[in-house]
Chain A
């Protein structure tokens, strides 16, 4: 499994403008309060293959974010 490439916010913005999908892995309650525009909520604590396959296109570039620490 390859390690995700790290990008900054401006690079993320550019990728999203080109059609990348955006995933918020924060708890659902935090997502509901505030999330990046267009982000799909896939909380890390409940994330599994089935949930990812259902919500995401594996062929598209996927940008993942948490809060401010990883």
Chain B
């Protein structure tokens, strides 16, 4: 570019940045992004058992099951506590939990969660890495 020695092209442009949960500036910026409402999610690894899930304590929401690099491989619903302690989470988890990206606008998420009657949803990057959890009642829109 115009005599520059080292120019890199960001694949996917601005959207690639925001879908990885990284911040932006500007008049609109991140103000209405769901990333502002994400809470830390307790999680277990793919080699955990239901005993590990129970050990996390109060289970009101699904517990993400993580593989290498914190990629979400599934989610264990609170009802799974009733299973034998030794049950591998791999056998108890939903292998395809619904997730959203951190760059979506909060109004859109709130509307969708209420339409689907969901009280929470997991947030991941575009690569599937866990960012956290969004609780419907915490979305003050």
| A residues neighboring B (CB under 8 Å) | 2, 4-13, 15, 20, 24, 26, 31-37, 39, 49, 52-53, 56, 58-70
Q: Which of A9, A24, A32 has the most CB of B within 10 A?
A: A9
Nearest-neighbour CB distance to chain B for A2, whole angstroms, equals 8
Q: Chain B, 108-119, contact with A by CB distance < 8 Å: what is the 0/1 string?
A: 000000000000
For B7, the chain A residues whose CB sits under 8 A away are 2, 4-5, 61-64
For B29, the chain A residues whose CB sits under 8 A away are 33-34
Which residues B24-59 have CB closer than 8 A to chain A? Answer: 24-29
Nearest-neighbour CB distance to chain B for A24, whole angstroms, equals 8
A7-B9, A9-B12 known; A65 vs B2 contact (CB < 8 Å): no
| B residues neighboring A (CB under 8 Å) | 1-17, 19-20, 22-29
From A4, A8, A24, give the contact of B12 (CB < 8 A).
A8
Complex Cα spacing A13 to B15, Å: 14
A4-B1, A4-B8, A4-B9 known; A35 vs B14 contact (CB < 8 Å): yes
Complex Cα spacing A38 to B3, Å: 22
B16 nearest CB neighbor, chain A only: A9
A9-B20, A58-B5 known; A65 vs B26 contact (CB < 8 Å): no
A52-B1, A53-B2, A65-B17 known; A70 vs B27 contact (CB < 8 Å): no
